[in-house]
Structure 1
Amino acid sequence: MQFADKMQKLRKERGMSQENLAEIIGVSRQSVSKWESGQSYPEMDKMIALSELFNVSIDELVKDTSGSTGSAQNIHNSYVINVGSQFHYEYKSKRTLLGVPLVHVNVGRGIYVAKGIIAIGNISIGVVSLGVLSLGLISLGALAIGLLMALGGLAIGTISLGGLALGIFAVGGLAIGMFSIGGCAIASHIAIGGYATGHIAIGESATGAQTLIMQHNEFNSINGDQVRSLINQEYPNLWKALVDGIVSMFNSTSWNP
C-alpha cells in the first residue's frame, strides 16, 4: 500500500476530515489533499507529527506494503497528541463485541467520532454514549438521541430529560411527549407543568379535555387522590407503577418542574 493510500485510510479510520487533519498538523487542507493524492510528501516534522497522531512508525507510513494488517491493529492503542494549541486523545479497546470496540474514546479540538459499546467523543455512537452529539441506547450530550434514555440540552428518547425533551416520557423546560412534565408541558396523554396542554392537563395554566389547576405552581395544592381518580377515569388500563409515580408528586410537600 502506498503512502497516499495509507494516509487516507488512517484518517478515515479516525473519523477525521482533511480539514481536521490539516488543523491538527498545522498545514492547509490542500497540503493534506496533495499527500493523499500522491502529488507530494510531508516534510520531516510533519511526518513525525503524522506518525505520532496515527500511532505508527514513519517506516510503516512511507514503506510500500501490501496486505499488511499492522496499521489496523495499531488503532486499538491509545494516543495523545498536542500539536501547537491542538489536543487529541483516542483510545480503542482491543476487546470487541460483534466487531465493535467495547470502549472507544475519541476527543479533542475538532470533529472526532467515537463508535463503541461505550462511546465517548465529540460525536459518539454507542450503546452508552457521551458527547456533544450523542446517539445510543443511553445517551448524554448537548444533543442526545437515545433509544431508551436521553439526557441533554436537546434530548430525544423513550425517556428524555433536557432543556428541550422529546419522548414518550419527557421531562424538561419544554417537554413534549405522551407523558410530559416541565415548565411548559405538551402531551397526548398527561401533561404536568407551569403551562400544561394535554388530554389530562395539570398546571398553573392548563388546557385539555380534563384539567386540574395548581395554585402558585405548588403540587401540594392538588390532592393526590383526585389525580389518581382522574387518571383511572380517563386511562383505566394505564400501568399502575406509572400512575403511582405521578400521584406521588402531588402527595409530596412540594415539587416544582
Structure 2
Amino acid sequence: MKLHDQIKKYRQEYGFSQEDLADKIHVSRQTISNWENKKSYPDVDSLLLLSLLFNVSLNDLVEGDLGIMKRVLMNHDLDIWTKIMLAFLSLGVVVGIPLTYLFSKWGLAVAIMLFIIGISASIKVDSIKRKGNLRTYQEIIAFMEGRKLSDDEKIRDRNGYWKVELLMFIGSALITAIISEIILLFIKLL
C-alpha cells in the first residue's frame, strides 16, 4: 500500500478530518490534502508524528513507498551536487582568470581551489549516478522524470555514449577558452 493511501486510511479509522490531523501533527490542512493526493511527501518529523499518532511502526506506514522515497532523495542529491559543480566550475572560469591575471600566484591559487571544489562535486555527481546505475544522459533524464528506459533503449544509448561524452568535453573546452579570452581582453582594456 502507498503512503498516501495509508495516511487516508488511518485518518479515517481514527475519525479525524484533515483539519483534525493537521492540528495534531502541526501542519496545515492543505498539507494533509497534498499528502493524500500524492502531490507531496511528508518530511521525516511528520512521518514520525504520524506513526506515533496512528500507533503503527514507521515501516508499516511507508511500506511500498521506500523505492519512491529513495528515488526522490537521490534525485534531490543529484540536483544539489550538480548545481554546486556548475557554480564552482563557472566561478573558476569567470573569477579565476581575472584574479590570476591581476594577482598572479594568489589569483591562481583561488582559481585552483574553485576548480578543486567543482571537480569534487563532479565526482560526487558521478558516484550518485553509479549508485543509481545511471550511465547515459537518457537514463539520467528518465530517472529524474520517474520512468525507466527499456533494455533496447539502454543498449542503443550506451553504444553512442562515448561520442556524446567527447562532444561535451570538446564543447566545454571551447566555451571555456572563448569566455577566458573575452575576460582577458576586457581586463586588458581596463
> What is the TM-score with the length of structure 2 in the denominator?
0.33
Structure number with higher helix proportion: 2
Higher Cα Rg: structure 1 or 2? 1
For CA contacts below 8 A with separation 6 or more, give which structure has more relative contact order. Answer: 2
> What is the TM-score with the length of structure 1 in the denominator?
0.26
